[in-house]
Amino acid sequence: AGGRWYGPVDIDASNAAREVIYIDSLRNTLQFSDYMRLDLKVNYKVNRPEVTHEIGLDLVNITGRENVLKLTFAPDENNDPEKSVREEYQLGFLPVFYYRIDF
């Protein structure tokens, strides 16, 4: 699947406002790189007359790929305005162990 759409950043306005400011007239003309994530979930469920137990392991993003989440404003130490807007990434690999009870 393709990445999210976004517009180019107005570097001068972003540096003045100290936050990411997009060029409105060019909205949704750029696209982040392809979004790819592989998940694996294993669970075991026990059904009883009054309660259901479930235990499981959910492995989120098992390949550890870093997908772009958004653009953020972070002033550059060398005052380079081109480097003040940076890509922020989603979490990499995330194992989730869980136990669930339904009444």
Q: Enumerate the domain spans of the chain.
A: 33-102
Contact 68, 86 (CB under 8 A): no
- Which residues is 43 bridged to in the sheet? 56
Whole-prediction pTM: 0.69
Taking alpha carbons only, the member of 7, 4, 42 closest to residue 22 is 7
pLDDT tens per residue, range 69-102: 998 888 777 767 677 888 899 999 999 999 999 9
pLDDT tens per residue, range 16-47: 888 889 999 999 999 999 989 999 999 999 99
- The pLDDT of residue 40 is 98
| Alpha carbon distance 19, 94 (integer Å) | 29
Contacts of 60 (CB under 8 A, 6+ apart): 37, 39, 91, 93, 94, 95, 96
Contact 56, 98 (CB under 8 A): yes
- The pLDDT of residue 73 is 85
| Alpha carbon distance 13, 45 (integer Å) | 54
